[in-house]
Amino acid sequence: MQRIALAISAALAVNGLGLASSFAADANNPVAAPTADTDNQMNRAHDNTRDATNNAGAAVNNSTAAAHDKTETAGDKVRNSLEHATAGTPDANNSAPDAKDIRKSIAALTTEAVTKGDMNHIVNRFVDADRNRIKNSDTYSQDYGENLDGRIEQINKTWKDKYGHSFDIDHANDVFNDQFASVQQGQIGRDATLASAVIGNSEQRNPSNTNNAAGNDKSDENLENGRSIALVTVSGHHGLPALRVPMIHEMPDAWKINVPDSLDAAKLRQNLTDQLTALGSDPSQWPGDENEAYRLVGHRALMAVLNQPVQGAGATMNEGMPGMAK
């Protein structure tokens, strides 16, 4: 037995624990208590093991995060590539191959401006970053609200009385034709002047990969090189100013308006109310030609989403304002 005890003690000493020299005699306890030196040795061994485990865990986490970032970057590239591929490419024979689709987007926005309770639909006509920001607005859940819905009801009733049927733009390209809405199309990174006009409304864009307060990161801005863009110039008519409508192509194949970053849900609601109130104030002045009347409503709707005031009846009054043609 003595030889066995000595062998165990020697084995422990070889493993660096030195327990044989650290036992304290205790007549009342046959199991020896470790000394302070032994406690320190065991604590250090425990700490070393714990640090090694933590370091291994951190390495795994870092590796996972790096892989996630690479996956997101690859995903963004694929998404951007698809979005570019589904937009037409201007050439010498066709400077705006997506003009019909762009005009259809404006026609849809016009219809949504005079459809009760359609806040969500009209906001979905805006580029990603603008949609996120406006949907994060404090009053977004109020939808159009009773006041605006009342104006819309009045406009629709008067429209039906005057033109004999409900508001319905069947032929967007006849209504928003070249004479009313001319279209320029290009790409960011290739058409500098056009890109400058389209990017102008993104004055508060987020250059970071980290979300900002509105829930946007830079990929939501859709302003990277190669992105398909367009500028619609709306001619001034019926005392209304000419407008520039910046548009950005998004997946799967949609043209969205890049509205000013100053626009939130409350302003959009109030702008639509003001523009439709002005429109409905004297229906006797509405054009006899129904297509021209659709253009008038579309012009008012675009003024609302571009944050243009009702009193802006002349270009000289509002020179330099976002969305105003120069």
The one-digit pLDDT tens for each residue of the chain (326 residues) are: 444 444 444 444 444 444 334 434 444 545 454 554 555 555 555 556 655 555 555 554 555 445 544 544 555 555 555 545 578 889 888 989 999 999 999 999 999 999 999 999 999 999 999 999 999 999 999 999 999 999 999 999 999 999 999 999 999 999 999 999 999 999 999 999 999 999 999 999 988 989 998 889 889 899 999 999 999 999 998 899 999 999 999 988 999 999 999 999 999 999 999 999 999 999 999 999 999 999 999 999 999 999 999 954 333 333 333 454 54
Could you tell me if 228 and 149 lie in one domain? Answer: yes
Q: Is residue 85 part of a domain?
A: no
Q: What is the dihedral of CA 183, 187, 193, 194, to 10 degrees?
A: 30
C-alpha 296/C-alpha 300 separation (Å) is 6
Tokens for 121, please give them. 């639909």
What b/e readout covers 138-169, taking b as 16+ CB neighbours within 10 angstroms? eebeebbbeebbebbeebbeebeeebeeebeb
Same domain (yes/no): 120, 251: yes
Per the structure, the complete domain to which residue 293 belongs is given by 90-318
Domain stop point among 50, 65, 80: 65
Domain total of the chain: 2
Coil, strand or helix at 44: helix
Q: Tell me, yes or no, whether 195 lies in a domain.
A: yes
Residue 323 covered by a domain = no
> pTM higher than 0.75, yes or no?
no
Structural domain contains residue 125: yes
Assess whether 106 and 175 both reside in one domain.
yes
- For residue 159, give both structure tokens: 């429209």
Cα separations (Å) of 221 from 198, 204, 248, 262? Answer: 12, 10, 10, 15
CA 270 to CA 126: how far, in whole Å? 17
**187 lies in the same domain as 270:** yes
Q: Is residue 77 part of a domain?
A: no
CA angle 300, 302, 303 (to 5 degrees): 65
Q: Domain check: are 167 and 260 in the same one?
A: yes
